[in-house]
Amino acid sequence: MVVGNQIWLCLSLVLGSLTLTQILLCLSLVLGSLTLLSYQKKKKETNKPTSSSDSSSSSCSSESSLCSSSSPSCEEEEKYDVFLSFRGEDTRHGFIGYLYEALCNKGIHTYMDEQTLESGHEISPTLMKAIEESKICITVLSQKFATSPWCLDELVQILKCKRNENVLPIFYGINPSTVREQKDSYAEAFANHEHRFRGNKMEKVKQWRDALTKVANLSGHDSKNFRYECKLVEKVVGDILSRLPKYQLTNYGNLIGIEKSVKEIEALFSIDEMDIRIIGIWGMGGIGKTTLASIVFQKYSYSHFDAYCFLEDTPEEGGNTYHLRCRLISKLLKDADPLCTDTPGVGSRFIQDRFRYKKVFIVLDNLNGRRSKLQKLLNGYQFANGSRIIVTSRDKQLLSTSAHAIFTHAIYKMEGLDEHDALQLFRFHAFPSNSHATGYEALLESVARYAKGNPLALEVLGSSLKSKSIKEWESALDKLKTYPDADIQKVLRISFDGLGDKGIQDIFLDMACFFTFPVFREDLESILNRTEYSDAAIGISALIDKSLLIEYLFSNGALLEMHGLLQQMGQGIVCDENKDLGNRSRLWKTKDVHHVLEKNTGTSTIEGILLHMKDLKKDVKVSPTAFSKMHNLRFLKIMLEDYFSLFETSYELYTEKCHGRINLLDGLESFVSDEIRCFHWDCYPLKYLPYFSRDNLVELIVRGSQLELLWNEAQRQPLELVKLKKIDLSYSEHLIQIPNLSRAINLQHIDMTNCENLEDGIENFPNNLRVLNMGGTAIKSLPESICKWKYLEILDLSYTNLRKISEISAPMECLVKILLSGTEIEELPESIENLTVLEHLFLCECDKIKFLPNSLCNLMNLMELYLDGCSSLEELPPLPHGLMTLCISECERLKSIAELPSSLYELFADDCTSLETISSWGWLPREPYIDCCTYSFKNCRKLDDHTCNKVVFRITYPGDEIPEWFSCQTDGGKSINIHLPPNWFKGGLTIVFCSVFYNRLDSKNFEIVFKTSDGMCYSLDDFVYRNFAETTDSDHVFINSEHLLTSDWRLSDVFGPDWSSICSNITEASFRVRHTYGIKKSLRARLFIRSEQEDEEG
């Protein structure tokens, strides 16, 4: 109160007699004192310890006052942004008060003393620690600064800690040269110090002089250069803000995995560009959009912008854009008065004029609602150049709507955490004390996988499992599969409720309940298109834009997938529809489907059923009338395996698994629904399908069934099947006939794989086919011309009784893959050249083919040719110039290979026991691709030396003698030393090694060590391009060759960036065996040096 009384006494005595200038100076003193009073009051309220003082003594820093919502306690030390050093007698009640307040208003944590030190006290350890822990020190050098030993000691300590760096001097009312040379008032002060500290204490005075000289030579601010004191304060604060970003933490604490996103958003943010930008951050709920925006806001708002505002679009706003805009204006202008001039429809010109010259940073968080909301929110306001606006939303369409044509827009998609970061974040919350998680490893990974990289889910689940036992964890995980966490679901549910349109909500629920694995978008659109829906394509796009679906784009189409947490949320919505299972719209839980089908409790409410038979605990005895009340049934999926695992299941295992799972001993009555779009029933146990309306049928999938015919005689009226796109009857071994499908004009995919009793019907297939799989059937012939299938992309006729390929009378511009392996064909027609886009041709095990047509070379797009096991093939024709893979293994009559295309990077000729030579070697690729190539000639024992020198080959044959031409052999069975000629590395080298082994030989057992003339060694232990592990039950000779170090990048990888000079100094290579287990005779090797023009043997 002493200072307060002085203020009012001053006002009462002098205001009446002073000039205007003097009154303003007096008011300046009053305001500075009031500022100090407010911070003194705050400090007393925090009960921080203080030091006793003498009011007549000068003061530098004592106990701290921290600019934050709560000051740290003595037990919890906190680092400061700024340490403020000053002579209280000169500046405390004016300039320092303004500067301190300005720093605090910018959120800069500042250490400033509020007390004085008693005469004779040394600087406290607390004060010294505060200096050490401050990022920047501001030293205000004033007229009486040098009179205070404590201020001088403080300066010495500051310069010692900061080493003259991160110290900002302010020369307040004094010339820098006075400080530097200690003249005028500083000379007087030092005369007193020298008198007081004469004798042994003069060293301290010398330290003070040196410190003043050093600080005066640092870059700082001189108050004489500023007309107004407020400008000096503004300049100092700006200087501090520009320096602080250097000290931004790169470790974001518990914000694991955020660094990459911060860097990417900063690149879009482009703080130095002077355009106006809106940056959208888009992603699902809980993915970290707000966190990312907050980090950028904290980093840049204070230091680079005139006004800034972080505004959340809360549900309380109720979609009222005007109220949200009022909050925005009030925060940016820090003044509510202008709002009276703003109106919902037309923005205030007065407000617009105030914004025109403000460089602003606005974060609009969690924006939702109509697509025009962003434009209405900004209301045509123009901001100064360099302004930035970040908008976070779950709705991409809202972000895509431009508010102003001049804005540069970018939308950043926020992805989930990768597996490593997800595990780290979850561990951080589940084990906050970094305690040992022994025994929890598998559980940690399970929960991390469940969350699929969603930070909110990882944080919530980690916190809920903290300090719980392993048994409690296991119980919680089981519960999560059925009852997801309510807090997570509450956040995610917002996106679903915001969809509005029931048709789009139904698409979401269908995806959540029935498509638990990725599905092609084209297929999903076909199945979901219904008259009462919004167009399915539009609805799916809306779900993608609102982060409720994930779309992956590939060359052959787009795959759609739903995040597991969103699936659980959608399934929860359906479960809440009704307690009675028969009155829910969708059934997908095994026990629920089992109950409804066996108890016959289905109703017209049911629109879809999904049953995974592998999850059944016991067989289902389906009531004959189980489906008779389901008038609105659209989906029926009774599946053995999902789409992807099916490929790994053999036919025998497939039928064994599903046998008897669904019991239809009493048959199955007709379906009453006219809405069935997907009929999928694996291992269907009856001879015929039940009757149902096929008007809307899109997919018919009945794999591994007991079907003999699709429908019985009464149902075989002409089939229109106008909407049918896919029919899959694969592995139905009893199927003997399929109906005439020529009227199914939209049918694109037919799969009859391994329907081994199916002999005909292929001639009645429609013309629009894209995929035709007839492999493993009994068909013997094709239609006269396959050209009618002009859209066909894949044709599989492998392992059929096919004996002839029809003439291809016209170009087929879509067919990219043909599988003819295991057929009886003897030749291919010359017209095969009309397959103009063919990329893959499979003719494996066609043991009647002796020759291939010469027109094969005209297939310019052919990349892969598989002829394995063509045991009658005697020669190869000229091959296409773009061929990349050629497989001719087990072509036992093939004696030579003519010129091979330069594009070839894989040649497999294993077990070509008659092969002797390859005529032309111009095809060998040059660097950098040669290390990626494989040329395998395993067991080609007749191959000549010239070919052996050229190729990467591998030969294994029975025997126990190493060929004589292997001149170098191991010393004691462990290593071979080979001397290298100069410049050996310019053309690369080939190592050929040989051994007699028994039982097993592994490629990981070998290494090569290069040695320089001065004894340095460089190891190469991964030189085998394709690893091998040969196993036999008798003695075998093994020969292998490898091209080594054939490219600059490979040399650099082994020897480092200075590889050229190192390789020039390498004189010896040592080929070593790590252990001799299995090797019966000494290892031998031979080295070939390849130059640019010719090959040399070394």
Catalytic residue set: 154
Query: Which residues lie below 8 Å from residue 697, measured CB to CB, with a gap of 6+?
Result: 676, 677, 678, 679, 721, 723, 724
CA-nearest of 407, 350, 347, 343 to 378 is 347
Sheet containing 1017-1020: give its strands across. 975-979, 1066-1073, 1006-1012, 1017-1020
CA–CA gap between residue 746 and residue 721 (Å, rounded): 8
Q: Tokens standing for 1061?
A: 């000079």
CA–CA gap between residue 164 and residue 158 (Å, rounded): 8
Handedness of CA 36, 38, 40, 42 (dihedral sign): negative
- Can you state the percent helix, strand and coil of the chain, rounding each to 5? 35, 15, 50
Q: Tokens standing for 836?
A: 């103009």
CB neighbours of residue 329 within 10 Å: 21
CA-nearest of 213, 209, 146 to 180 is 213
Report the SS3 class of residue 1092.
coil
First-last CA distance in the chain: 98
In the block, which residue shows the tokens 């190539």? 933
CA distances for 973 relative to 966, 990, 996, 1082, angstroms: 14, 21, 11, 5
For 248, what's the count of Cα atoms within 13 Å in the CB-facing half-sphere?
A: 16
What backbone torsions phi and psi does residue 931 show, to the nearest 5 degrees? -70, -15
Query: What one-character DSSP code corresponds to residue 718?
Result: P
CA-nearest of 773, 792, 859, 779 to 823 is 779
Cα 1008 from chain centroid (whole Å): 38
CA–CA gap between residue 95 and residue 698 (Å, rounded): 80
Paired residues of 1086 in beta bridges: 992
Q: Ramachandran region of residue 400, left (φ > 0), alpha (ψ -120 to 50) or beta?
A: alpha
CA distances for 936 relative to 202, 840, 873, 956, 999, angstroms: 87, 20, 19, 11, 22
CA-nearest of 784, 789, 689, 776 to 739 is 689
CA–CA gap between residue 121 and residue 123 (Å, rounded): 7
**Alpha helices in 884-993, H assignment, sequence order:** 945-950
Longest Cα–Cα distance of the chain, Å, equals 125
CA–CA gap between residue 718 and residue 189 (Å, rounded): 114
Containing 856, the helix (H) or strand (E) segment is none
Paired residues of 990 in beta bridges: 1043, 1088
Query: What one-character DSSP code corresponds to residue 360?
Result: E
CB 491, CB 456: distance < 8 Å: yes
Beta strand residue intervals within 142-243, DSSP E: 167-171, 221-222
Q: Tokens standing for 183?
A: 């003249």
Containing 1067, the helix (H) or strand (E) segment is strand 1066-1073
CA–CA gap between residue 143 and residue 147 (Å, rounded): 9
What backbone torsions phi and psi does residue 132 show, to the nearest 5 degrees? -65, -35
In the block, which residue shows the tokens 């007709």? 670
Paired residues of 1031 in beta bridges: 1000
Number of helices (H) and strands (E) in the chain: give both, helices first. 30, 44
